């Protein structure tokens, strides 16, 4: 089966529900992207991503049905609260090599001390559970954890001018400790997840099955960002290519994408062949899932645009029009008004300009402001 770039982009818009209108009675946790987790970075993070997919939410008004945790790439992600115990199991390392890949530079110190990284994450989780017996800001938790952990877990930080834990194990252990992040806190505040099973604290054993069900990160990627390659999936989850290949879902099918092999779930094949062709204009947040695929040339063929869109610090949002990224946007809030700074990469049609105006009003309402 051969598919084109245009088919893939339209398929992703539909699979991610970017073409879904808002429904007032829809539950706040009714969104397909919550299976994979919705990254919450910046003021237009997880809640705006859900709003773009027809979920009736507003800025700084977190529904009780949602929870926030450090998971993939140690970034904060929103999930259905009811799914948290299953999410914790799904994001456990697949192997020792996978755990070492996820903790980055902390792996060397632990290996030098003959401490397996999986065991180190479990020990960190158990210690963190004991430390966070009430809501605590990250700095306070870090100070307590530095006193709890031994030298292989610690490093000298030039930026802080102090010794503290390696950042990645600290973040990745939190959910394994049964801890969530309190939304809209800076610095982040960690707190215990209500009714977390005691037998699931610091236990990183994996079942023999190669599939974690609906919340399996690879299944989520293949459905929401497919078709994609093993290498692209590995880059998304910060895992070794070998582990990704071993965990590849059995029902994944290969397609030819403009002359190159890629995979998606077999159940999605028909949707990829005949994706909806409905006009959709959206103001995507800087870390929206639609922008998170690791094949940037597919999304934005003009490589000269990549640096402007995917900046390391202070990246803009993207203007999506019918599957294509046609420009960038930045919010300019002043008092009770919200203006937009727009960069049109190509001349916009009158329809696109009008639709961007509608989305501007939508964003302002989401933030509780007036469009300017």
- For 328-368, how does the pLDDT look when each residue is reduced to its tens digit (9 = 90+)? 999 999 999 999 999 999 999 999 999 999 999 999 999 99
SS3 at position 364: helix
More confident residue, 217 or 1: 217
pLDDT, tens digit, for every residue of 290-318?
Answer: 999 999 999 999 999 999 999 989 999 99
Chain mean pLDDT for the chain:
95
Lowest mean pLDDT among 9-23, 207-221, 312-326: 207-221
- Distance from the first to the final alpha carbon of the chain: 48
Q: How confident is the model at residue 156 (pLDDT cuts 50, 70, 90)?
A: confident
How far from the centroid of its chain's Cα atoms is residue 62's Cα?
17
Q: Predicted confidence band at 208 (pLDDT cuts at 50, 70, 90)? A: low
Which two tokens mark 186?
A: 């800076």
Place of tokens 């079942």: 207
Is-contact 344 327, C-beta < 8 A? yes
Give the separation between CA 29 and CA 38, rounded to whole angstroms. Answer: 11
pLDDT attached to residue 183: 97
Whether 152 contacts 114, CB under 8 Å: no
pLDDT at residue 265 tops 90: yes
Q: At residue 260, does pLDDT exceed 70?
A: yes
- CA pair distance 131, 144, nearest whole angstrom: 7
**pLDDT number for residue 214:** 87
pLDDT grade, residue 326 (50/70/90)? very high
pLDDT bin (cut points 50, 70, 90) of residue 213 is confident
Closest of 293, 272, 216 to residue 248, by C-alpha = 216
Going by C-alpha positions, the residue among 244, 271, 242, 272 that lies closest to residue 256 is: 272
Report residue 158 CA to chain centroid gap.
29
Mean pLDDT confidence for 171-190: 97
Are residues 40 and 285 in contact, defined by beta-carbon separation less than 8 angstroms?
A: no
**H or E element, residue 265:** strand 260-265
Give the number of other Cβ atoms within 10 Å of residue 168's Cβ. Answer: 19
Beta bridge partners of 255: 262
What dihedral angle (degrees, nearest 10) is formed by the CA atoms of 184, 187, 192, 197?
90
> What does the pLDDT look like over 93-151, one tens digit per residue?
999 999 999 999 999 999 999 999 999 999 999 999 999 999 999 999 999 999 999 99
Percent of the chain that is helix, strand, coil (3-state, to 5)? 40, 20, 40
3-state SS assignment for residue 283: strand
Residue 207 has pLDDT above 80, yes or no: no
Phi, psi (5° rounding) for residue 289?
-55, -35
CA distances 258 to 8, 60, 262, 264, 321, Å, are: 10, 42, 10, 15, 22
The Cα–Cα gap between 127 and 148 comes to 7
**pTM for the model:** 0.96
Contacts of 81 by beta carbon, 8 Å cutoff, 6+ apart: 29, 64, 65, 66, 67
Backbone angles phi, psi at 70, to 5 degrees: -80, 120
- Of the pLDDT bands very low, low, confident and very high (cuts 50, 70, 90), residue 209 is low
Contact 249, 215 (CB under 8 A): no
How far apart CA 92 and CA 78 sit, in angstroms, is 17
143: helix, coil or strand?
A: helix
Please state, for a pLDDT cut of 70, what percent of the chain lies above it: 99
Asked if residue 236 lies in contact with residue 221, where contact means CB atoms within 8 angstroms, the answer is: yes
pLDDT at 204: 94
């Amino acid at each position: 089966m051969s598919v084109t770039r245009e088919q893939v982009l339209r398929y992703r818009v539909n699979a991610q529900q970017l073409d879904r209108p808002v429904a007032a009675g829809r539950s706040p946790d009714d969104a397909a992207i919550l299976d994979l987790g919705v990254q919450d970075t910046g003021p237009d993070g997880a809640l705006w991503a859900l709003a773009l997919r027809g979920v009736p939410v507003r800025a700084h008004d977190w529904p009780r049905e949602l929870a926030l945790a450090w998971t993939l790439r140690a970034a904060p992600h929103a999930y259905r609260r009811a799914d948290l115990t299953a999410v914790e199991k799904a994001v456990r390392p697949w192997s020792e090599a996978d755990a070492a890949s996820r903790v980055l530079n902390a792996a060397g110190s632990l290996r030098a001390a003959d401490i397996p990284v999986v065991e180190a994450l479990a020990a960190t989780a158990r210690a963190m559970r004991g430390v966070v017996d009430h809501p605590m800001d990250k700095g306070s938790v870090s100070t307590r954890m530095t006193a709890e952990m031994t030298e292989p877990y610690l490093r000298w930080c030039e930026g802080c001018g102090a010794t503290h834990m390696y950042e990645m194990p600290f973040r990745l252990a939190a959910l394994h400790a049964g801890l969530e992040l309190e939304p809209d806190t800076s610095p982040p505040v960690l707190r215990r997840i209500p009714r977390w099973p005691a037998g699931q604290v610091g236990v990183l054993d994996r079942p023999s099955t190669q599939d974690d069900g609906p919340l399996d990160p690879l299944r989520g990627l293949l459905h929401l960002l497919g078709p994609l390659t093993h290498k692209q999936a590995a880059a998304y989850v910060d895992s070794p290519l070998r582990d990704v290949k071993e965990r590849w879902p059995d029902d994944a099918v290969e397609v030819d994408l403009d002359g190159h092999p890629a995979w998606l779930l077999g159940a999605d094949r028909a949707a990829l062949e005949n994706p909806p062709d409905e006009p959709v204009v959206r103001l995507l947040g800087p870390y929206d899932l639609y922008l998170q695929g690791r094949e940037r040339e597919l999304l934005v063929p003009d490589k000269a645009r990549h640096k402007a869109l995917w900046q390391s610090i202070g990246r803009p949002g993207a203007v999506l029009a019918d599957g294509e990224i046609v420009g960038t946007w930045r919010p300019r809030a002043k008092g009770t008004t919200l203006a937009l700074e727009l960069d049109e990469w190509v001349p916009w049609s009158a329809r696109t300009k009008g639709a961007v105006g509608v989305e501007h009003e939508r964003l302002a309402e989401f933030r509780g402001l007036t469009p300017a």
